[in-house]
Amino acid sequence: GALSMWGDRMWHFAISVFLIELYGRNLLLTAVFGLVVAGSVLLLGALIGDWVDRNPRNKVAHASLFIQNISVTICSIVLMLVFSYKQRIEQIWDGWLTVVCYTVVIVLADVANLASTALTIAIQRDWIIVITGYNRGHLAGMNATMRRIDQVTNILAPLAVGQVMTLASNVVGCGFILGWNLVSLIVEFFFLSRVYRIVPALSVKPPTAEVGLANLQGMNRSGSQGEGQVVQPVAEGDSDARLRLKEMTYLPLCLRRFRWLVSTCKDGWRSYYQQPVFLAGMGLAFLYTTVLGFDCITTGYAYTQGISGSFLSVLMGVSAITGLMGTVMFTRLRKTYGLINTGIISSCLHLGCLLLCVCSVFAPGSPMDLSLLMPYFTSNSSSEVGGMANQRQKHTSASRGGSNQPLLPDRSSIHWTNNTVLFDNVPSGSAPESYTSIILLFMGVITARIGLWSFDLTVTQLLQENICESERGVVNGVQSSMNYLMDLLHFIMVISAPQPQHFGILVLISVLFITTGHTMYFLYAHKAKRKRRLDT
């Protein structure tokens, strides 16, 4: 797990830097890559999960690991060639070879991400449950340990590859990632095989709907050969499968495959909706629609408010410590109050800390200006056309000032450090009159991570404990799709309101989404407790 997470974090950081370096002073390739990655998981999440369910555990883990590492390796080779011979490549086919190289890089990186998603579902959502012997206490400890490893690698892995790229070059950075993936592939393959042999229960897997459909086909064939055989009663689900099978046999092969893919996705989403922990999973997904995290959006805003890059690095270190505190708190709360109550406590702590972020919107030093959201309607309705034109001119001239720098400026002033955008030169006039607002904002973001990661672990274990073993893959695949969908919404929010003066609005919308997510969890907890009382 540590090797896999280290490689993932290192690659996710490096590919963003490489894409920006390839396209010069533009974030277009990075934006396209992010859209492709989110869209592919959104569309294929259920199919990936279904594939995990239908195949033996060792085959799924080894295939996902191989595809992921080989994709990254080939992508690194392509990037090394592009960086080394960029000028020559731009002259071939009137520059179209460059476009082909960009496309190959993005496609390979997306394939690697899909394989990583499959590996994560297989190991962290299925293998762990079997390895711990379905013991809830051991499962909670293993989940917390994996999350601690993830938190540490999230800080150290990008720093490591970033130092290589800074001290050497992008070509050397690609070579470093290439070598790491080849070595990691061998080591991880050995460890996974070793664990599979040590835990015999991993080789036992319940039949899925696909297996049942295959048995139904065999039953139909055997029935045509002899009428003397006794046929077992067919369940309602098997009857539906038989009708679908009969309909699909009259279609061409390509249409049958496409219809099967659509049917699998539909069944996956339906299965997700029918899970008893559906509301808890949806609540977790809603937490992804937020600007209140240490990503490029929030740190970019902090920079426009006069916060230095070195101080932001310190804040990121503190946030990592609070995240680790959340994993410790989860294990202790679960032992004392139970899993469902741990989620309630974590939700309340998370929301309570985010109130500091809400206060920061209205505190001294906040740049929020609601009039910028309606630049053409701030003047009186009875004003003349000339007055309206003057009003527009005022907003246009104001947007050119330092205080209206967009949250993501151009490439010329960007340094990339651990998924954080830092900038060289503070725009003139960007320092606020008071730092009260930005202090409250980061106090809320940092302290909220304690409740956030405790809540995340709570929902993760609820999904592990309550999802049928034959549906773990597809349900967790749909959960990944939901997470990516809600994450896309937060980027759409920033695109719609990109100025620092809009950030307060984004904070309030983020808190609204987070509150909605926790409310869904409260509803789930209420239903689960009521059901438990009725059962007793």
pLDDT tens, residue by residue, 451-479: 999 999 999 999 988 888 888 888 999 99
The single-letter code of the amino acid at 265 is: C
Quick one: pLDDT at residue 412?
33
Measured from the Cβ of residue 373, the count of other Cβ atoms closer than 10 Å reads 14
Quick one: pLDDT at residue 226?
37
Distances (CA, A) of 442 to 319, 418, 499: 9, 18, 19
Quick one: pLDDT at residue 319?
86
Cα distance between residue 299 and residue 402, in whole Å? 17
Give a yes or no: residue 31 inside a domain: yes
Quick one: pLDDT at residue 248?
54
Give a yes or no: residue 217 inside a domain: no
Cα distance between residue 254 and residue 79, in whole Å? 35
Same domain, 359 and 482: yes
Same domain, 188 and 73: yes
Give a yes or no: residue 362 inside a domain: yes
Same domain, 189 and 271: no
Give a yes or no: residue 226 inside a domain: no
pLDDT tens by residue, 123-173: 988 889 999 888 888 988 898 998 899 888 888 888 888 788 778 788 888
For the domain that residue 20 is a member of, what is the CATH number?
1.20.1250
Contact 261, 47 (CB under 8 A): yes
Cα distance between residue 308 and residue 499, in whole Å? 19
Cα distance between residue 467 and residue 471, in whole Å? 7
Token readout for 352 is 């309570």
What is the DSSP secondary structure assignment for residue 421, as one 8-state letter? E
Point out the domain boundary residue: 203, 237, 265.
Answer: 203
Structurally, how many domains does the chain consist of?
A: 2
Quick one: pLDDT at residue 428?
38
Which long-range contacts (C-beta less than 8 Å, at least 24 apart) are formed by 319-325? Answer: 319/294, 319/445, 319/446, 319/449, 320/151, 320/152, 320/154, 320/155, 322/446, 322/447, 322/449, 322/450, 323/151, 323/449, 323/450, 323/452, 323/453, 324/148, 324/151, 324/152, 325/450
Looking at 338-435, list the stretches that DSSP marks H as alpha helix, in order from N- to C-terminal side: 339-362, 385-398
Place of tokens 């920061």: 360
What lies within 8 Å, CB to CB, of 50 at 6+ separation is: 210, 264, 268, 473, 474, 477
Residues of the chain with confidence (pLDDT) below 70: 24-28, 207-253, 296, 309-310, 369-432
Quick one: pLDDT at residue 154?
82
Find the domain containing 483 and state its range. Answer: 253-369+431-535
Give a yes or no: residue 50 inside a domain: yes
Same domain, 352 and 453: yes
For the domain that residue 473 is a member of, what is the CATH number?
1.20.1250.20
Give a yes or no: residue 222 inside a domain: no
Give a yes or no: residue 77 inside a domain: yes
Same domain, 158 and 259: no
Task: Let me know how long the chain is.
Answer: 536
Strand, coil or helix: 420: strand
Token readout for 416 is 């990339």
Same domain, 155 and 298: no
Place of tokens 């995990």: 52
Measured from the Cβ of residue 188, the count of other Cβ atoms closer than 10 Å reads 23
Quick one: pLDDT at residue 356?
93
